[in-house]
Structure formats: structure tokens, C-alpha cells
Structure 1
Amino acid sequence: MHHNFEAVEKPPLRGSPTMRFLRSNALTLATIAGVVLGTALGFILRASKESWSARERMYVGFIGEIFLSMLKSLIIPLIISCLVSAICSLDLSLSRKVAFRAIAYYLTTTFASVVLGIIVVVTIQPGVGKTIESTDESTTTYNSRNTTTTDTLLDLIRNMFPPNLIEATMYQHRTKLVEVNNSDPDDLYTFAIGSEVTQTTNIMGLVVASAAIGIALGQMGDQTRTMSNFFNDLLAMMMKITSWVITLSPVGIMFLVCSEILKIKNLATVLSGLGLYFMTVLVGLFIQGFIVLPILYFALTKRNPFTYIKCLGTAIVTAFGTASSTATLPITIRCLEEKLGIDP
């Protein structure tokens, strides 16, 4: 069963090539304009006043904060409905093939990004001879947590099978190692094993649960047709709401970028201290995003990868403006289905 959320085929765009391009990419261009305007507005506001208080910055970024909250509120119902409706419509043999290829692709690209990151950092060495002091009063202080590679992997597997699905929408568990009297400070494996709850959505648990529900619905067929239709209708509804929220992205991103610029206490000091690091990150992302992944895409599909990238322009710009891949997920799904015509 193939889900088609665009019941009426859109008529071809008419006019000159330039006008067709502008109309088909209006949202992407508006989002880019939002980033540029937000940057310009941020520097103008910085120049107009010597310092901005936390409350004033909160006022500036309030609209962007609301936009980000709306995007994040779509994630759970969108992921659940998308996975369940897609899996229950697949043939089980095809599901296994898709799952195997997805895992293989993920492992390959992750390995490539890790190797690339090591090569770029060793080559450029952005931290050599640098002593960075905090110049931003909003900078978060991250306390190191005692953990081992084994515990991290086991926590990943534990979170794939949450004991409470409602709790998984808000929290996830992780191992916490505590030093006791008889433990060796240099050996984390001698620490007492405890656990703690973090207020982060357990996406892995929801994905596994949604996949199980989708497989069950697919096997039961007509017996659970009503439930299958419910998830299909929920997905269509969430995609419609997503389209409403996306239209607000240029304005929301503009205020997000503007407020972030106002948070920087001393821009010159930050750029001088982090400039090389910033360049290193950009070089790594550019090579991975515009060389490694396009080559892999072309090798597997024999299609132009840059046409694919162009259709994801809105998602890429939104990810840059919001600094949140999670919040960008609804926009990515919409681009994949509507602009690239990928089956849900």
C-alpha cells in the first residue's frame, strides 16, 4: 500500500526559468534571507547599545523560541505515525531488506565521518597553542561524567527497550558510576554502578516500539485495518501541521540568529580564539556533506547528488539557523516526501 499525501498533482510551474526557480524555492530563499537578516539585525543591535541584559536578549529571541518549540512538539507524533504507517504497509521481506541496508549505510557513513574528523583535526590542529577562556556569560558549563564505553553501549541497548513508553517520550535512563570507599580512582570499573534519569526524549525506544507496532499491524492485515488507517490519517494530519509551522521558519530563524549574536560578549575574542576551530569544523562538514556523501549517493543510485541536496535546502538552512537536528526533522521529512517524492 502506497501512501500519497498529495491527492491532487501540482500543475507545472509556468514562466521564465528564473521565475520558476524563485517560486519553487521561495521558502528556502526566504529562510536564507532570515539567516542573513538575523545576522545583520544582531550586529546592528550590538552596535546600538554597549551591552544587552539576559532579559532583553530573551525578548529579542522570544519569537524564535516559540518557533523552535512548535517544531519540537511535532517530533514525537510525526516519528511514531511515520514509522508505524510505513512499516505496516511494507512486505516483511522488504522490511528486512530496508532495515539491513539502513544499518549498513549508517555504519558506513558514521565510520567515514569519524575517520574524516580525525584526519582533519590532526592535519589542521586547531587547539595547538591555544588557551581559551570563557567569553560568553551564557556558555554552559559541562561537568564531566564518569562513564565507560561498555556502559554507553549498554545504555543504548537499554533505551531501545523502554519499560514505559509514556516515560520514553520525556526521559531516558543512563548509567551513573559513583566512587565508593573501596574503588580505585583510576579504574572506573571498580566504581559502584547506579543510574540516573535525563530529561531527554528516548527517540531510540520510540523508534523500536513504533517498528514493533508497525510489524504487528502489517501481519494482522484486515483485522487491524482501523488502527492502520488511524496512523495513516495521523501522519497526513501531522504533515499538514508541519507545513503550517514551516512557513514561519524565515521569521523564527531570523530572531533565533539575532538573539544568539547578542549573547556573544566579545565577538573579536571569540573569533580569535575559536576561528581555527570554526574553520576545521566547516572543512570537515564540507568534505563529508559535499564530497563523501555525494560520491556514495552517486555510486548507489547513479543519480546527480546535488539535485538531491538542492531539494533539501530548506532543511539544511533550518538546521543551521536553529542548531538543532531534532527540530529540523519534521522539515526534512516534508522535503523528502514532497520535493523528492520518496515513499514514506
Structure 2
Amino acid sequence: MGGKSEVNGHAMPGSASTDRIILEQTEELQKSCREKLWQFLRRNLLVILTVSGVLVGVGLGMLVRSMDLDRAQMSHFAFPGEMLLRMLKMIILPLVVCSLVSGAASLDTRSLGKLGGIAVAYFLVTTLIASGIGVTLAFIIKPGVGAGALNTNSLGLESVSSNKETTDSFLDLARNLFPANLVAAAFRSYATDYKMVAAGNDTNGTTIYQKVPVGTETDGMNILGLVLFAMVFGVALRKLGEEGEELIRFFNAFNEATMVLVSWIMWYIPFGIVFLVGSKIVEMEDVGLLVTSLGKYIFASILGHIIHGGVVLPLIYFGFTRKNPFSFLSGLITPFTTAFATCSSSATLPSMIKCVEENNGVDKRISRFILPIGATVNMDGAAIFQCIAAVFIAQLNNTELNAGQIFTILVTATASSVGAAGIPAGGIITIAIILEAIGLPTNDLSLMLAVDWIVDRTTTVVNVEGDALGAGILHHINQQEMKKQQHEDKELEVVRVDAVANVEAEEETSPLVMRQTKVLEGMPEAIESVL
């Protein structure tokens, strides 16, 4: 039988042919497993490298910390991380302007108005919820109670002074919305300063001085003004019709080229993150004293970020889309890690746009319209820690906050987070505005600055998470509207066919039917965005 044992013509188990088949199947299974593993690694290589970069950075920082480097050596050690930040910041200006111009120009005015309205409502509501969480946690955990002995001198910190009036802070926000010079707005923003001017003499002959606000320019991109200009300019190009098409195509091409640059920069992120995180650990003074002194404040802030980012925002996303928010967020690990390492919403914007489009399939017109705005005005994480900081400083100074002051904290934190710079430690200035609004001293701000590098990491992650989920919600709403519009178009198509049949069948037709047919024949087949 040639070594084969057969029963009724079938090979029995244990025969050579059966062994060969089992061996081939095993090899195929192993091969398919290897291929799947290889595909997974190729697809998620950047994510794995970026997360590994944070862990390697922590280990390297601890190792180098024991070497007692001087200031110059520390700055040299931090150089690769500084290069990453410079690259990311370099790409922000073309990315924000071009993406918003092309995004606003690709949506019709009615759609733009509705999209913008939903986005603003989402940003305001989520930031107000975040402020509420911050105030509630501060009153439950009471980080400042019993810490009256804690002052600037005990930790050896320099005092941070802020003499800016609340009114001027909000007026500066409005002024920055309309920059006097667009070129200057790319690297400077408006800020009010004060000078003392002689305003006459009193009865004793002593000169009376008056504090007069004067306009100054501070270093730092005025993203708020650029965002508003780019949106309005995009709408204006859309209104031009055919004449504006050439310029719209230019901005679209510029935008795509910028995204190619982003994809190249993203491969440097894992290496840069190692030194960004490592250098921060090396620069730490006495972290033990800071954490024990301000431990409750740090705990309250990070807990607020976990509640808002892990529960509230995913629930809002699920409520709108009925989809799993965590599968959406799993495609955004790279931008979240970048946010954690850089502490900058603006620097995270390039990788966020790329990942939201490629991993989560969000429409380019939606993502490139909403994410630059979100990176500028949507600061949920900042609102949480600012509210906790305000209540913390009140408790530190044994000040009982009344209902009016609590309401002022909520409203001021929500409103002023719009103007907060999307840069590391940008929220400290905003806390000064809140403290001025409720009449508390700003000399304890240095305590916030001392631990800001810890709290700012989770703050930025929550900020960018809110932007990404907002883009996902808007994409879902747009998809639903498009389906609804397509359904209506099909119904209209049926009416059109019936109307044509009537025209052909009858010699004398109603002029209304003729007019309706012509109107329907002139309708476009597809509508780009139908919100």
C-alpha cells in the first residue's frame, strides 16, 4: 500500500500523508501569525517607539541626574528635545493658517455657520463642566487647608508677580482677535502694561500718580488673531467663486505639503521625547519636598483630569455617536504621548491632525477646520487645574469663598481659557486673572509654577483629547446629515422622473411641472457638506 493505511479508501490518522498535511497547516498558521505580528508592528511602530521614548527618557533622566551636571551640561543634554520642540513650533504657523483657509473655503457658508456653532457650544459646555469638576474636587479634597505655613520662602522659590487688571486681560483678548499687523501676529501678541503718570498735586503739594494702561508687544505667536483671519479669509475666497479657486487650490496644496513635512517630523518624535522627558527629570530641584508639600494639590489636579478625560468626555462622545470612544482614542496614542512630553497643545496639533485623519477616518475638511480652533480656544485640562489652584490659594490664605466668588471662578476660568496660550506654563497667567477677579493675592502663584511641570502634562493630554473627540462628534453629525440629504435627493429624483414622464405623455402640461423639472434638472448631484 506504499506505507499508507486506508479504511474504505480514506487515509487513517498516523499515516505519512496526514502528518504532512498537519505539518503544512502548522507552518501556514505560524506564517500567518508572523505576518499578522509584522503588520501590527509596521502599523503601530511609531506608537510603540513614542511610548518607549517616554520610558527610556525617565530611565536616562534618573541615570544622568546622579552625575551632578552643571547648567551648561544640562542645556547640552536637553538639546535633542529642544530641536523637537523647535520643529513642531516651526510647522504650527503654516499648518494653522493653511488648514483653516482651505477648511473654511471647502465648506459652504451655511455649513460653516452650523459647524462653527456646534463647535463653540461643545467647547464652552465641556470647559464649563471641567471648571465645575475642578471647583468641586478642590472643596472635597481641600488641598490648601492646614497648609498655611507653606509659603514661597519655605520652598526657596522666586515670587511671581502679576499686576494686570482683569478688565485689561479680557480687552487684550479682544485686541488679539484683530491683530493690527498680520506679519507681526506670526511672532508677537498684544499685552497691556502700566506706567505711572503724574496727575497733578494734592492739597499738601504732593504729586499724585495715576496708573495708566499702555499697549506693548510680547514675544509669542498670536494664534487667536491668525485663526480668526484665516477663517474669514477662507469664507471670502469661497464667496469669490471661480476667481477664488486658484488661491484655494494653492492653500490646499500648501496644506498637503505641510502634512508631508509633519509625517517626516513624526519619526523624530520618539528620539526627541527621550531627551525632553530626561532633561526635565535632570533639572528637578528637590522633587520630594515639592510633592509632599503640594501633594494634595497635585493629586486633586490629576484626579480632575482623569475624571474629565476618562469619564466625562468619552460619555459626551458616546452620547452623540453611540460608538466606543476608547477605540477612537486608541488611534491617538502618538499625539497623546507628544502632548505629555511637550506640554503644548499647539506643538501636538500637527501629529493630532495626521492621526485623526489616518487612524480614525475623520473628514479632512472637518479636522483641519476644527482642530486648529480647538488647540487655541479649547482648554478643558487648563480650566480644571486653574479652578483648583484658585480655591487652593483661597484656602491657603484662610479666605472663605462665597457663592458669588465661586461663580466668578467658574465663568472667568471658562472665558479666560480661550485666551490661554497653548504653550508650557501658559495657564499660570490665567490663574492670575482669576485671582484678581475674586480679590485674592497673586504672590502665591510661584507655588503653582513650582509643580506646573508635573500637572501641565496631564493638562495638555486632556486639552488635546477634548479637541479630538470634538472633531469625531462633528464628523459623525456631518455624516448623518449627508445620509439624510442623500435620502432626500433620491426622493426628489423619483419626483423628477415622474415629472418628466408627465411632460412626455401629455401634450398640454402645467407650467408649474415644467418649471419644477427645470429646477430639479439644474440641481447638483452631490452636495459636499450638508450641515
TM-score range (shorter-chain normalised) is 0.7 to 0.9
The answer to whether residue 37 in structure 2 is matched with residue 37 in structure 1 is no
The 5-angstrom pairing of residues 1-344 of structure 1 reads 19-47=38-66, 49=67, 51-130=68-147, 131=150, 133=152, 142-148=160-166, 150-178=167-195, 191-344=211-364
Q: Secondary structure at the match of 1:25?
A: helix
Q: Which residue of 2 aligns with 1:9?
A: none
Q: CA deviation at 1:263?
A: 0.6
* Alpha-carbon distance in structure 2 between the residues aligned to 1:14 and 1:232: 41
Q: CA deviation at 1:24?
A: 2.6
Contact 2:152-2:159 at 8 Å conserved across structures: no
**Which amino acid counterpart does residue 324 of structure 2 have in structure 1?**
N
Q: CA deviation at 1:178?
A: 4.3
Contact 1:174-1:195 at 8 Å conserved across structures: yes
- Aligned residue pair count: 322
Q: CA deviation at 1:266?
A: 1.9
Label 1:264 to 1:147 Cα distance change in 2 as closer, same or farther (>3 A).
same
* Alpha-carbon distance in structure 2 between the residues aligned to 1:126 and 1:236: 48
* Alpha-carbon distance in structure 2 between the residues aligned to 1:164 and 1:265: 41
* Alpha-carbon distance in structure 1 between the residues aligned to 2:219 and 2:253: 30
Q: CA deviation at 1:92?
A: 1.1
Contact 1:87-1:214 at 8 Å conserved across structures: yes
* Alpha-carbon distance in structure 2 between the residues aligned to 1:24 and 1:289: 26
TM-score by length of 1: 0.87
Deviates more, 1:266-275 or 1:294-303: 266-275
Cα RMSD of the aligned pairs, angstroms, is 2.3
* Alpha-carbon distance in structure 2 between the residues aligned to 1:20 and 1:289: 30
CA distances 1:61-113 after superposition (whole Å, capped 9, x unpaired): 10000111000000000001100111111111101000101110111011011
Contact 2:334-2:351 at 8 Å conserved across structures: yes
Q: Secondary structure at the match of 2:241?
A: helix
* Alpha-carbon distance in structure 1 between the residues aligned to 2:254 and 2:240: 20
Q: Which residue of 1 aligns with 2:25?
A: none
**Which amino acid counterpart does residue 172 of structure 1 have in structure 2?**
S
**Which amino acid counterpart does residue 229 of structure 1 have in structure 2?**
R
**Which amino acid counterpart does residue 295 of structure 2 have in structure 1?**
G
Q: Secondary structure at the match of 1:312?
A: helix
Q: CA deviation at 1:120?
A: 1.3
Q: CA deviation at 1:154?
A: 2.0
Contact 1:132-1:273 at 8 Å conserved across structures: no
* Alpha-carbon distance in structure 1 between the residues aligned to 2:104 and 2:159: 41
CA distances 1:219-246 after superposition (whole Å, capped 9, x unpaired): 1121122111110000000000001101
Structure 1 unpaired stretches of 5+ = 1-12, 184-189
Q: Secondary structure at the match of 1:128?
A: coil
Q: Secondary structure at the match of 1:174?
A: strand
* Alpha-carbon distance in structure 2 between the residues aligned to 1:63 and 1:220: 46
Q: Secondary structure at the match of 1:176?
A: strand
* Alpha-carbon distance in structure 2 between the residues aligned to 1:92 and 1:322: 36
CA distances 1:126-180 after superposition (whole Å, capped 9, x unpaired): 233331557999x7753213212x3222221111111110011011112234455
Instruction: Give % identity.
Output: 35
Structure 2 unpaired stretches of 5+ = 1-31, 201-209, 365-531
Contact 1:14-1:20 at 8 Å conserved across structures: no
Q: Which of the two has higher C-alpha Rg?
A: 2
Deviates more, 1:24-33 or 1:212-221: 24-33
* Alpha-carbon distance in structure 1 between the residues aligned to 2:211 and 2:360: 51
